[in-house]
Structure 1
């Protein structure tokens, strides 16, 4: 019996092999990823990559010209469908439709077609001319929606003959009359007293026009296929149904058989082998969507390769749906292969798909750098350039799974495709590595930068110093500071020096900060920031290191900074000796002695602190012109009066 072997195949073989039947003898087709299928298409033994254009012929194609011709027909049908939708819309004005048509750049229409639209809605004859033009282009590729739009237009214009002619065409295609089209026609038939046609339209629905819809026919076909294992019985029943298969119908059957994917593929092969329908982009995409599951991957890749060989592209919607499905199921290798397949055709994946896949690979159970690099190379070969924003997203993904230490691997892979870090990302990576105790990785990061074209900036070193300080690795921070001076020079060391100084001081190690600053100033000729001097002086005095604090006045003056008096005045007035006060005043000025205002400030601080005796002692050590200065005399006179008044009050009480 004809094709009886299929029944035996389905009964005897496990589910995973049901899709690998052969319609005719063939050789083995070798695809990438070592997938092996039994081809239903003649071809040579030569292996080929999945992403190259296959050389084998499509079923029933007598020559390569058929592929080109089919592509032209597909483009033509899309334009025709769009024009039908615009022309037949009852809710849009003529002006609105004309503007919308002109806005669609992909509608390459001639003046003849434009004339149809200019006369749209003027009289039934205009609608008839448009209908005749559409039919002259062929009705084979018209979808159910396009036919129903035309039907509604014909009915609304009272074109009875054309209306019923189109109904017959739709019956042969397996299309049903939709409610919208019938309502428009019924209203016009009533208006013009066409009672016979009104009744005929009612009878059409009474007989079940809805049963001729794609959904209903699809349901009946699927019912036959599901009843028993595929074999001659199923094929005979399907042939006896007399169904005229359209792209919409085949697509619907494939989708309805989605839970029985083996039968879906057998039907897909049978309907074309039997000469009932030659697959197009719509049906190839439909079967591809249904096969995008782990247990059917071999069949999926076979179909998409065959689709491209037949001159069809993967639809954007199919690509997006399958890509997300692969990623959701953690089938990242197949997701990347799909991305490569789409980039090699006309699908035009989004620019965001590359960073999306990179982030998913970065957060997968195992960081597959070969897969990561493959995505980068695909993206680059597409003429694209990766941005720092994209890399930042990948780094955040690494951080989210505690894998930030792997960033150096990521950076090397990106450099291989010509990507170089900007300063901001250098700083961010350096800071995060050093802050999170990734000492070895941080050192490797700097080595990587120095050996690449992403030359580290002084801010990068500063970020490393800051990170080391926050993680408590002050020795590493100090080494990095020295490397900064050697690499970038003394002019860029200010921020790093202040960061280190603050870190030492916060750990009550001001003397080490003092030694670091002194060494940097004397040996490296670094110019610290004014704020660095002020910070260190305050911390030295807090820890009682008065001598070291006063020594800092000399480099401050050499660097053109004004003296920082506040902490000294506070220190000597509360805890210092008069000798220390004299030492401080000599150190803070370039002149022989400080100004009277400075002396007055110190005297007032002593008095406010209640250290009157120390104030008198300090006064005795001041230059004569200070001791005799009227403001000083008045200050001490008022101090004496206050003391005398206090003493009198004490005696009286």
Structure 2
């Protein structure tokens, strides 16, 4: 009999000619070969018509319609050929090689269209995995969405779920539509728990958070009720959590009330989620109300409940309630997972003026085995100092120093300048500079070089009569290039000068005068005009210690810089000191050489002192200079005598 009822098999040959592939994979070839091999088919099973219609409808229409001469049939698309090949042959390596031979390169459009046109979900899944596994194509968000949609319709939900959860590993980001299409598939299949799990996964950090997610979940929830699928506590908790995350507390509370109305008892997760939501919108009182309700129903708050409520209480400045909750945590030995809450509790109690409660927070940390850090002690010490409770601040400081808490490498909260500077100042002003220095040396090991603290230590040691210790601090400042205050230098210099001439202080005093001289030079060069009385004291000390040339150099620098100092007082002091009149004479020559003038009474006193000490020649030169004599000669002789005097 003739195949398909045709009188002439020639149309098949012409149809074969118009196919885009000459491969043996063509279903037409297979149909022909099948027809040739079946010489005696059973009459009740006409194979050819049904096969041709079901597998390739275009073949039947082409075979029955004669193609006009001069016109060509449109070539079949690649994706259609691949789909037909997958439909007619088992998924084997041979078929895969045939597809690779047919398509040298796979692009997004081709892969997507093959998935879309696949005859069944199994073909689509095999093709999806094959092109990815062999490196022919890297799937993106669209192809993932397509295969999840196909598998969802075919109820192959485990495959779809695995593909969805593996997306981040491939570097493809999730979005809400991917979750929603799978959630809906689980819902249609009546698998409620898996839908809830997916919704919870969708709410994790990093997942999309907007109203669209929650509204979709709500529609799914209503669909559950319409299908008479009873939601449980997990379902309600999931919905409540979703509305709390988008800060729609009225909707969350509606489900919370509905949950109770269905005789579904809220658990600790239900209450904690609601409390967290209320705290996020600033309704801390409602959170406290639910906490009391929990206790009434015998539901014990957990660590998340307390950790959720405490920050809200601190923000709302409800520190009394926060203290009560912290006490409960200590009694139950429940430590929060986030230790940053303790710094907020200490700061909040200090701000409220309850220093006892603030100190109790530190004790609670110790009882809960939470590591205390320098920052915790620092806030307490700072606020004890502000409140004038220095004795309690010193006790805390003793523990801080003794346990070397500042030096712990695991510290995340360091002691701030606002904490250690008032403490150091108090200690330095109350005869405890040594303890202040111990504290600051620990801070220096952490890289602190605070100029205020340095200067307070110098002042403290100077006031306590230990200028050597102050000088050691000063040397550290110079070495680290930390700026110093003139007042600290002044106290240190005065402290050294008060010590007089003891042998054990002589070397240090000389070094100090030299250092003071260098500082004075720096001050003058920078145009600093403050504390010029200190400059006079330095000059006096230089002359008295025999550093005449250095003193004269500083005087010349002062005159060049236009800095006026009290030379008359300096001359008077030198005239009063035995053997220092020639130094005074040298100073005066310098002043007059530069065109400077001084008080006539000081000049007369100097001339008188020179004559009394037998320096009549210098007295005569000075007299002639005053009377308008040869200033040049006087100046030259003055220089000569100055060198002789030195």
**TM over 0.5, yes or no?**
no
Task: Provide TM-score, normalisation by structure 1.
Answer: 0.44
Structure with the greater alpha carbon radius of gyration? 2
**Which gives a bigger RCO, structure 1 or 2 (Cα 8 Å, sep 6+)?**
1
TM-score, length of structure 2 as denominator length: 0.44
